[in-house]
Amino acid sequence: MRNQQGLLSGSHEDSERERIRRRRTVLWRRNSFWIHHDGAPAHHADNVVDFLDNTRTHLLPHPPYSPDLAPSDFFLFARLKKNLRGEIFQDIGELQQRVDQEIGLITADEFHHAMTQSWTNRLQKCIDSHGDYFEK
């Protein structure tokens, strides 16, 4: 079933949209969301493209050979790998619990720094390298 915006309703998508609406009321009212997608195939799936079009979400361009720009790659996954390295998990539920725990330890200041200063520095390195790979 589709909602008023023509999107599937009753799904994870609706609950995520509601969570964003409650937490980011000013952005929601202005409809001023910006998303940075890398070249992952999931980001180009029809339902993702339709959702972003229907919500008029702006996409930041991403050079095709610069995966170093995704904050999940340089900040989140690197941190998780470092903090979970060497641990052995009995099942996927235990792993998910530890990942959730580690994510919960990230402070607002750390997240803000990663999304502003660190990301901006990486964007500049990408510009300086003309879109090629670059070292940390």
- Same domain? For 71 and 55 the reply is no
**Are 39 and 62 contacting, i.e. CB atoms less than 8 angstroms apart?**
yes
How many domains in the chain? Answer: 2
The pLDDT assigned to 94 comes to 95
Average pLDDT for residues 99-112, to the nearest whole number?
Answer: 91
- Same domain? For 122 and 78 the reply is yes
Provide the residue range defining the domain that includes 23: 12-60
Quote the CA–CA distance of 17 and 15 in Å, as a whole number. 5
- Token pair 């690197």 in the structure block, residue: 78
Residue 134 covered by a domain: no
pLDDT in tens, 50-105: 888 877 777 777 776 665 777 777 888 889 999 999 999 999 999 999 999 999 99
pTM: 0.52
Which residue has better confidence, 76 or 21?
Answer: 76
- Same domain? For 81 and 112 the reply is yes
Quote the CA–CA distance of 116 and 105 in Å, as a whole number. 19
* HSE value, Cβ hemisphere, 13 Å, CA-based, for 88: 1
**Which residue, 95, 30, 38, is CA-closest to 62?**
38
Per DSSP, 135 falls in state: -
Q: Extract the tokens encoding 61.
A: 């361009």
Largest pairwise CA distance in the chain? 48
Average pLDDT for residues 104-125, to the nearest whole number?
Answer: 86
User: Under DSSP, is residue 81 helix (H, G, I), strand (E, B) or coil?
Assistant: helix
- Same domain? For 55 and 18 the reply is yes
